Structure 1
């Protein structure tokens, strides 16, 4: 039986922290599905298609069966459609744990056949959040330490199109 895991997120943009969890999560499963989703409470910098392409490109060198798929549904419905047994979630801090713990409990109530596995982000990557990367970029700050060079160029180009904040 193929062990399938799902790593969901908005990936707006995909960060080095995301990539750390993807690389490590890929070691736990035979097939890793990266579910790129929309989140009504977030205003994305990149379109869904741009985020899908970004994640696919960044994952190209990973030696595991990785699929990058868009979804706009309950995570547990998506996991079921993918044949997943595991949801992979990254944790950076205690605040993440509280939210993720509650979500894992709710997800277990929806489908007890899918387990949630938490991976701690590498210590050097723990502070990285897509939201903060975008905010730093919008104010003209350096983001090179948080994203790949290609993603950095894409974020900088997008900021130039939409305009920097501050003076």
Structure 2
């Protein structure tokens, strides 16, 4: 049976920390679907279409990775995509507390799904999408935190 994992998130932006989780996850799974959840109540900083393209370019060397966007419950998307696993990265205990609750709800929605947590590599743990957005918004170069290049705001 093919082991497919859904790696869900807003990925606004997708960071080297996220890339690290996916590349390490490929040692555990046959396929990883990077799922960009769309929240209609929340405006994105980086356009969804741009982020999909940048992530596709970052994984152009990995045929076992594909990218989707969705507007549904994560567990429902996992079920419809045939993913029996949810892949999540943990930077710290705060992430664990948050992710633990979500994993319980996902099991309620889709009983067969298992959440697999990978601890973020230590040198990438300080990176967060919100910090990168703030740095980028104020004209700082954030290339060292991302697996692709961004255009600096004018």
Q: Which TM-score applies when normalising by structure 1? A: 0.86
Deviation at 1:40, TM superposition (A): 4.4
Q: Go from structure 1 to structure 2 and tell me whether the alpha carbon gap of 1:95 and 1:40 turns closer, same or farther (over 3 Å shift).
A: farther
1:4, 1:33 within 8 Å by CA — same for their partners in 2? yes
Pick which of 132-141 and 108-117 moved more.
132-141
- Residue in 1 that maps onto 2:105: 106
SS at match of 1:34: strand
Larger Rg: 1
- Residue in 2 that maps onto 1:94: 93
Q: Which TM-score applies when normalising by structure 2? A: 0.93
Q: Distance in 2 between matches of 1:68 and 1:54?
A: 10
RMSD: 1.5
Q: Distance in 1 between matches of 2:39 and 2:96?
A: 19
How many residue pairs get aligned? The number is: 154
- Residue in 1 that maps onto 2:38: 38
Unaligned runs of 5+ in 1: 161-167
Within the alignment, does 1:10 sit opposite 2:10 as a pair? yes
Q: Distance in 2 between matches of 1:56 and 1:37?
A: 16
Unaligned runs of 5+ in 2: none
User: Counterparts in 2 of 1:126-165, with a 5 A limit?
Assistant: 126-148=125-147, 150-151=148-149, 153-154=150-151, 156=152, 159-160=153-154
